[in-house]
Amino acid sequence: MAGHFVLWKMQVADRDACVAAGAGWTGLAHAAGVGNGAGGVFPGWTQASRDDLNRVRSAHGVPNRNNIPPHRYLTFPGGAPAALLAAQLLADRDRWISSLERPSSVGFGMVALCAAAQAAWTGGQSAYRYDALIAQITHGATSVEIYYLGSKEMT
């Protein structure tokens, strides 16, 4: 599974505020030793998986997601965000939302954005990340893939 967006690192307080406002927080994806669907298992946090993640972060490709380390997803229900969640997302516009990314590595693969979110993302205006996130949430269920919570690798 891939996310619509990636946030390499999120602070615990930011995650807690989003969840309290109505976002979801998933279980661990790509846990060490779990089958990867390609005849192998996910390695967990190893030097090789860190290297693959760093290749994605530095705009270099990876062949697939089979060696990507564990991560979790912050999820948002589709439709116009409820008042509490909308207020939280607006408050976070210049915080974690401003660090959202969409790596272009084909092997890493991101979930496609709806047309309005893609237009906001490629438009590059000052609030484009926030605008793209809101457009995607309004369109349907949305996920943000996260690898570090605070300064700790996701476990």
Q: What angle do CA 130, 135, 137 make, to 5 degrees?
A: 95
Question: Phi and psi (nearest 5°) for 103?
Answer: -55, 145
Q: Which residues contact 3 (CB under 8 A, 6 or more apart)?
A: 73, 110, 111, 143, 144, 145
**pLDDT at 51 (0 to 100):** 96
**pLDDT at 126 (0 to 100):** 79
**pLDDT at 60 (0 to 100):** 87
Rg (CA), the chain: 15
Tens digits of residue pLDDT in 131-147 = 999 999 999 999 999 99
* Dist. CA 99–CA 7, nearest whole Å: 6
**pLDDT at 30 (0 to 100):** 95
**pLDDT at 87 (0 to 100):** 98
> How do the domains of the chain map onto residue ranges?
5-153
- Given a cut of 50, the residues of the chain with pLDDT beneath it are none
**pLDDT at 84 (0 to 100):** 97
H or E stretch at 6: strand 5-10
**pLDDT at 124 (0 to 100):** 78
**pLDDT at 59 (0 to 100):** 87
Q: What angle do CA 5, 26, 60 make, to 5 degrees?
A: 35
